[in-house]
Amino acid sequence: MQRFAVLLTFALALSSAGQGHAQSSSPAPAAPELPKSYFPGLGEFMGRIEVDHAKLWLAGEARNWDLATYQLGELKEVFADVQDLLPRYQNIPVGEMIDAIMTGTITDLEGSIATHDFSKFSTSFDKLTEACNSCHQAANRPYIAIRRPAQSNFSNQDFSPRK
């Protein structure tokens, strides 16, 4: 969390320093402004998780196991970021809930991907989706209902396995 905030502050400081240089002919501002840092909320992480969830299905459906491995890795990374950065969100113990709900289903999915077993993959994927929804229900967000994607929303990406 700290490292993230420090990096962000550093990046913002650099970009405002750059601006100052570009406008070097204009008079310097009276007092230096403190850089503002942006901190994403849980909804922003979830938006990324939604994309990873959809792409994971599309990759598995296309039997693109390399892509499925990658996509599940991305999904895990975002959940790990949530655990590091937002372990509690509006009094919801999100970090602990991720351990309790997600870890087992993710392990099952990894097994199905490693063995290229589509039928096991689809069962585990549906369990993952149920886990998403059980957390939404527990977190008073029952109206956020996740399901298997019916089609690709990513017409610029080819999900078929590379030769």
Given 12, 35, 37, 50, the residue binding ligand HEC (CB under 6 A): 50
Amino acid symbol at 143: Y
Determine how many CB atoms are found less than 10 A away from the CB of residue 98: 19
Q: Minimum distance between the CB of residue 45 and ligand HEC, rounded to whole angstroms?
A: 8
User: What residues between 88 and 107 interact with ligand HEC by CB under 6 A?
Assistant: 89, 92, 94, 97-98, 101-102
Give the residues across from 92 on adjacent strands: 89
Q: Bridge-partner residues for 89, per DSSP?
A: 92
Exposure string for 23-39, b = 16+ CB within 10 A, e = fewer = eeeeeeeeeeeeeeeee
Distance, CA of 148 to CA of 20 (rounded, Å):
49
139 part of the interface to ligand HEC, by CB under 6 A: yes
Comparison of 65 and 79: residue with beta carbon closer to ligand HEC: 79
Shortest separation between residue 144's beta carbon and ligand HEC, angstroms: 5
According to the binding rule CB under 6 A, does residue 53 interact with ligand HEC? yes
Q: Residue 73, interface with ligand HEC (CB under 6 A)?
A: no
Give the Cα separation of 83 and 93 in Å (integer).
9
Determine, following the binding rule CB under 6 A, whether residue 144 of this chain makes contact with ligand HEC.
Answer: yes
Report d(CA 72, CA 145) in Å as an integer: 20
Among 109, 112, 132, 159, binds ligand HEC (CB under 6 A): 132
Would you state the structure tokens that stand for residue 97, as one six-digit string? Answer: 């809930």
Q: How many chain residues interact with ligand HEC (CB under 6 A)?
A: 24
Residues forming the site for ligand HEC (CB under 6 A)? 41-43, 46-47, 49-50, 53, 89, 92, 94, 97-98, 101-102, 128, 131-132, 135-136, 139, 141, 144, 146
